[in-house]
Structure 1
Amino acid sequence: MDTERDTGAAAVARWLRDGMARGVLSFPLTSFHADGSLDPDGYRAYLAAQLDAGPGAVFPACGTGEFFSLDEDEYRQVVTAAVEETAGRVPVVAGVGYGWAQAARFARIAREAGADALLVLPHYLVAAPQDGLVAQVEQLAARTPLPLVVYQRGQVAYTTASLRRLAALPTVIGLKDGHSDLDRLQRLTLAAPEDFLFFNGAATAEIQARAYAAVGVPAYSSAVHAFAPEIADAFFAALRDGDSGTAGTLLRDFYVPFVELRDRVPGYAVSLVKAAARLRGRPVGPVRAPLTDPSPADLAELSGLLATGLGLVGAAR
């Protein structure tokens, strides 16, 4: 382990690593009322159910949690609720984003709310060179003591040289990958310090979980956990136990059809997840614009897929 790494950041990294080995990473939905206003009580009830499923860590106010649609007061309520409901059982890693100045404002709120670390979402709008991508994280790291996990997706993709620079920052502890470029990812894992965390953050990460594990990145976030932790946990257990039959069945009969439905409409990566949670009776409400809820036809198909997935899990038990 790098003895120069901040001891506080190292402790959080160890806690996260332990959680990643035990279960999937939960990215909870944010609950809204029908009129689009925040529903704090519904969110807490939903979080309680998520935590009962035993995730490895909780990442509130990230992509699945519609960070991009929250104002600062709502963000504070969401992160505070996650910290209070979690009560120290697992790490709480709050999302921050936009430019570094705005990210630092959200980071301050997250720290005040008691978050253990931050997930640095891709910056807003512009393409940037590698020096700028690193400087974005450096500026944020200089303004918060919280450990940082950087997220490469969209316009953010780090080279091995940039990864080495980021990993040298005392509070940068890991990377979430959403590009699924396994050649690049393998090079990044080999360039990073031994204690640096990596996890699969692809949309519907289970589809590529076996491929990521083959390059040394077995941990992953699960959007399916947000609405059907039974399915997500069954798949995680199958991978952990080398049960290729169960993993293959779940991929073929549930995950692949779910991804095909997800890919039909932009934004369905969140909208379908929230609709599925509503089908399970979870008090999450609608998505906020610019996202849209699924059409009636797609909702009916989603309902059938959910029944299939839960039936497969029941059959496996």
Structure 2
Amino acid sequence: MAGQPEDVVRSLRDGMAAGVLSFPLTAFHADGSLDVDGFREYVRGQLAAGPGAVFPACGTGEFFSLDEDEYRRVVAVTVEEAGRGVPPREGVGARGRVPVVAGVGYGWAQAVRFARVAEEAGADALLVLPHYLVAAPQDGLVAQLERIAARTSLPLIAYQRGQVAFTADSLTRIARIPGVIGLKDGHSDLDRLQRLTLAAPEDFLFFNGAATAEVQARAYAAVGVPAYSSAVHAFAPEIADAFFAALGAGDHGTVDKLLRDFYVPFVELRDRVPGYAVSLVKAAARLRGRPVGPVRAPLTDPSAADLADLEALLTAGLDLVGASR
């Protein structure tokens, strides 16, 4: 599917309308080494659930803990499995190649090294994660993307979160950079986001990348950003798909019930400990029997008490959508 930026934009736009965006977990053995076979099995399950696109080696996939060889293997496996297409499931016909968008990050020079690896592995586009440590002015944020875009043939999606927050003027500038095709927003500042969508060209992609994005999905859609990533899809695609379907159908009763009885309690549990946005998701996947293993330091796995609360919440969520454990 890899091709010109406009082809990738078209494929991503179609995918975003068809399903949530999957950010797969990276599988590790108990000793912390990369579990390639476990990851392959896991990512097959993610793809079988029919996501709009798959984003390996990003924040949920612990990009920050991967070396270049591990990163290459994670992206390559995802590309191989995505190439098999999405099999038909209840209510959904078979789909072809699912777009693969790999994460890159740190400073621009290191991001370019990962970009080259992703390009060789067959990725379709790149998600540029927030740069490391330092705050930067708008000119520097734009220059970061200019330098990466000039050194890869893959289209780029910028990710604003943490110390990266674009103004409307900067959004106009990055949208003019050849190869920059979209923006993932993790700030949930809807006033700013509305200004960005109004400043962007018509074909520029936006999606909601807030933590547990479903909680804010209706608010994002109201400012013209209906597409979103789903951490819940990483461990319970049944719940994520039920929410996506209800939201798309305007079934506000089901949306409210899922928010009230599953998503909001999950956010409250997630917020107990820094890093639970990843480690709690990974623990939930293990509870479902997925071979993802532990998180790597500096993240830590959930406490026994939090794990018990997570298991109870997961059971309740699956019961809400009529899915089995």
Identify which of 275, 283, 295 aligns with 2:283: 275
State the aligned residue count.
309
Alignment-derived partner of residue 207 in structure 2 = 199
The Cα offsets for residues 243-265 of structure 1, whole Å up to 9 and x where unpaired, read as 00000000000000000000000
Which one of 17, 36, 43 corresponds to residue 39 of structure 2?
43
For 1:228, which of 233, 236, 256 is the aligned residue?
236
Q: Which residue of structure 1 lines up, in the alignment, with residue 53 of structure 2?
A: 57
Unaligned runs of 5+ in 1: 1-6
Q: Deviations over 1:142-172 (max 9, x none)?
A: 1001000000000000001100010001200
For 1:179, the equivalent position in structure 2 comes to 187
Match of 1:78 among 74, 80, 87: 74
Task: State TM-score, norm by structure 2.
Answer: 0.94
Give the match for residue 8 of structure 2: 12
Give identity over the alignment, percent: 83
Q: Give the whole-Å Cα distance in 2 for the aligned partners of 1:51 and 1:176.
A: 21
Match of 1:254 in 2: 262
| Residue from 159, 169, 176 that aligns with 1:151 | 159
Aligned pairs for 1:114-125 within 5 A: 114-125=122-133
Where do 5+ consecutive residues of structure 2 fail to align? 86-96
Find the aligned partners of 2:18 and 2:99 in 1 and give their Cα distance: 13
Counterpart CA distance in 2 for 1:46 and 1:314 is 22
The whole-number CA distance in structure 2 between the counterparts of 1:119 and 1:224 is 20
Q: Which one-letter code corresponds to 1:57 in the other structure?
A: A
Distance 1:295 1:210 in 2: 32
Structure 2 equivalent of residue 21 of structure 1: 17
Matched AA of 2:191: D
Matches within 5 A, 1:67-146: 67-87=63-83, 89-146=97-154
The residue number in structure 1 matching 2:252 is 244
Q: CA RMSD in A?
A: 0.8
Amino acid of the residue matched to residue 9 of structure 1? P
Superposed CA offset, 1:70-122 (max 9, x none): 00000000000000011062100000000000000000000000000000000
TM-score (norm 1): 0.97
SS in 2 for 1:33: coil
Corresponding letter in the other structure for 1:194: E
Deviations along 1:108-143, one digit per CA (max 9) or x if unpaired, are 000000000000000000000000000000000010
Give structure 1 regions of 4+ aligned residues with deviation exceeding 3 angstroms: none
